[in-house]
Amino acid sequence: MRLWNLLKCSNEITHTLTHKFNMPAAFAKVLSNREFFANCFLNELFSDNDISIFEHMNLNDVDKAVRRIEKSIKNREKICVYGDYDADGITATAVLVLYLRERGADVIYYIPERNLEGYGLNFSAIDKIKSQRTNLIITVDNGITAVKEVDYAAKLGIDVVITDHHQIPDHMPSSVAVIDPHRKDCCSRFKDMAGVGVVFCLICEMEKDKTSIETLLKKYSVLAMMGTLGDSVPLFSINRILVKYGLKNIENTEYCGIKELIKQNSSERSTKNFSSIGITYSIVPKINAAGRIDVASKAVELLICSNITKAKVLAQQLGNINKKRKEIEQGIFACVEPLLSVDYELSCRKIIIVEGKDWPPGVIGIIASRLLEKYQKPVIVITSFGEIARGSARSVPGFSIYDVINTCCSDYLLRFGGHPMAAGFDINISDIHRLKSDIFDYLEEKEVPALTLNLDAEISSGELTYELANFVSQLEPFGKNNEKPIFKISNVTLESVIPLKGGKHMKLIFIDPDKNRFSVLKFFESAHNFQYRIGDILDLAINVETNTYNGKNGVTSILVEAKFSDLDEQSIVNQRRTFENLISRNYTILKEKDKDILPERKDFALVYRYIKSYGSEKIEGNINVFYYRLGQKTMSFKKFLLIMFTFCETGIIDFTLSGDFFCINMKEVKQKVNLKESCTLSKICGY
């Protein structure tokens, strides 16, 4: 369960924006928590359109890089663009190769294979590049940690220019130029651009006083947009400009590879209606897929391709690779899910660690993200091949998985890197058990924050207007640090549920406390699976969008989440964590504060009658909703969970709990059951 967090808005900023710009108070509240946009309005300067920012980036060493690259172009030296195998690295490679080709440079590119070479510059790759008589390597989206590799290249007579956007290590490589906005001595006002953004800034510097920024954006912004969205960097300043112009130019892009890539998506035959969210979830995964389970060079070739026949073939290949990637992920997920459902203790830990054999390293990060979303706690997924294993970790906001791994295990990891929300490592298989033990012990007395759903403002149903939705649309494109605003509406009664599109979606009709009716759409959920009932009093978390029907402007409200208005969600989260801690820590003596978990005979009887009241052999849905209908005041959530697991372990029911999703199958009980035979009950009660 995600905890709802209503953001605190600045009354002063809200008042100023509302009165100065005659905007809805709800939208002013949204802006008050988004400093970049609030400043745009208050200064009457929409700086997200100010493309002159590219002329004043002040990136260190960019002048050195320009001189060295211009020398190579002039002298017809061979240049190698050395990229990375994700969407950012692939698009950055494509942009720079296209630009250098247009300048008449003798240019090749190299992207290491994820499974064989790993990330960044490596000695073997440098040897291959040298064999092609290369004089200059330009890294994109990597290189900042390649101290030894740059020295090796220098010994072979190869100069290196580094363009990167990752954090700076203690020692930088001794290359011709190091362009990275995170350099401590870098004067750039904006630090959080993607690798492709750094490349675009380099091109702007090379074209200074020769080509307008507008022209460069028209030519390269579509590719830069894809890499920027793919790398999930904050969507303001430079990043926002690249995405805005990319969306603007995608319909008329000159690159046939991009056009064919879009055509592979059956749901989007046209570029006209593409949004940043659409690009992120339909196009970027196809670019990423090549580097995850195949070779990233196929994606680069598609993006730089000028032959439409070849583009069609490559786009089809990428579509097939992405389809295969999905199948592999589903297969791995199907292996992991039963483990976590059957061995509940595995998912009770503060961090979930699962491992398998021969899972493609390129997809385990996605598996970790899916498990995090479902179980709402940090996850590490490990895949082994031979004597070596590779791990990928994902975390929740406010909990640095990088710091945990670095503190517990870095001294015996073969490779390690990352940031607070994600990390990766290589490890000897013989050390995996040690890694698990060290991390579990380290987290024993530490708290992991719960996942939250941030709500921008609380509004009434009367504020759901076209005007509000129209103002919200001005914040597009949406992405990291500029998510689509979510509004809270409280204490509304569900009046009716109307199936749409053959039952695939729903229209929900609500009545607010003032007896006003309004509708909310819920996509990708059928009325049959919807657990809320007519008459339930709910709080809603919604998005708003503009719509036009029969020539009239209106607003569409879209349901993000719903919960019972009087549900004590914080208590449920705390109690579930208590239950999980009792299971995973193997307590034999209960602490005083936890003794209310102990059930009496009447409690067992109450829950059994409640389950039977559903009159179905199979019951499934959200465990929090199921518990709420039993009654929060009837018993604690942790006691309820203990009873459910006791029933399961003594053969009364089959019960699985995966994240918030539960499934009960009633069993025929022909003889008296001894509840004390439950392992979970015995462990907690000390029988």
Amino acid at 215: T
**Which candidate, 158, 199, 161, places its Cα nearest to that of 178?**
161
**Which candidate, 392, 369, 370, places its Cα nearest to that of 114?**
392
Of residues 339 and 250, more confidently modeled: 250
Reported as a single tens digit per residue, the pLDDT across 412-426 is 999 888 889 999 999
Residue 269: per-residue pLDDT: 46
Fold of 52-320: inorganic pyrophosphatase (n-terminal core) (3.90.1640)
Residue 39 pLDDT > 80, yes or no?
Answer: no
Separation of alpha carbons 548 and 552, rounded Å: 5
Kind and range of the H or E run holding 256: helix 256-263
CATH 3.90.1640.30 positions along the chain are: 52-320
Q: At what angle do helices 11-21 and 35-42 cross, to 10 degrees?
A: 40
Architecture of domain 343-442: Roll (3.10)
Kind and range of the H or E run holding 664: strand 661-666
Kind and range of the H or E run holding 329: helix 308-342
Does pTM top 0.85 for this prediction? yes
Query: Which residue(s) pair with 563 in the sheet?
Result: 539
687 in Cβ contact with 681 (< 8 Å) = yes
CATH 3.10.310.30 positions along the chain are: 343-442
**Contacts with 231 (C-beta within 8 Å, 6 or more apart), sequence order:** 86, 87, 88, 194, 195, 196
C-alpha dihedral sign at 487, 490, 496, 502:
positive
Q: What is the mean pLDDT of residues 642-662?
A: 94
Residue 263: per-residue pLDDT: 84
Residue 232 pLDDT > 60, yes or no?
Answer: yes
460 in Cβ contact with 512 (< 8 Å) = yes
**Which candidate, 234, 204, 224, places its Cα nearest to that of 216?**
204
Residue 635 pLDDT > 90, yes or no?
Answer: yes
Separation of alpha carbons 236 and 165, rounded Å: 16
Q: What is the mean pLDDT of residues 508-519?
A: 97
Of residues 116 and 460, more confidently modeled: 460
Listing DSSP states for 32-97 in one string gives HT-HHHHHHHHTT--GGG-GGGGGG---TTHHHHHHHHHHHHHHT-EEEEE--SSHHHHHHHHHHH
**% of the chain exceeding 90 in pLDDT:** 78
Residue 676 pLDDT > 80, yes or no?
Answer: yes
Separation of alpha carbons 609 and 631, rounded Å: 13
**Which candidate, 370, 512, 392, 542, places its Cα nearest to that of 4?**
542
Residue 329 pLDDT > 90, yes or no?
Answer: yes
Residue 393 pLDDT > 80, yes or no?
Answer: yes
Confidence of residue 4 (pLDDT cuts 50, 70, 90): very high
Residue 272: per-residue pLDDT: 54
Reported as a single tens digit per residue, the pLDDT across 589-618 is 677 778 889 999 999 999 999 999 998 889
Fold of 3-7+456-564: OB fold (Dihydrolipoamide Acetyltransferase, E2P) (2.40.50)
Q: What is the mean pLDDT of residues 259-267?
A: 76
**% of the chain exceeding 70 in pLDDT:** 97
CA angle 508, 509, 510 (to 5 degrees): 115
Residue 587: per-residue pLDDT: 55
432 in Cβ contact with 389 (< 8 Å) = yes
Reported as a single tens digit per residue, the pLDDT across 90-131 is 999 999 999 999 999 999 999 999 888 888 999 999 999 999
CATH 2.40.50.460 positions along the chain are: 3-7+456-564
Reported as a single tens digit per residue, the pLDDT across 162-192 is 999 998 888 999 999 999 999 999 988 889 9
Confidence of residue 69 (pLDDT cuts 50, 70, 90): very high
**Mean pLDDT lowest among 1-5, 19-23, 312-316:** 19-23
Residue 488 pLDDT > 80, yes or no?
Answer: yes
**Mean pLDDT lowest among 65-69, 114-118, 306-310:** 114-118
Separation of alpha carbons 568 and 469, rounded Å: 31
Residue 84 pLDDT > 50, yes or no?
Answer: yes
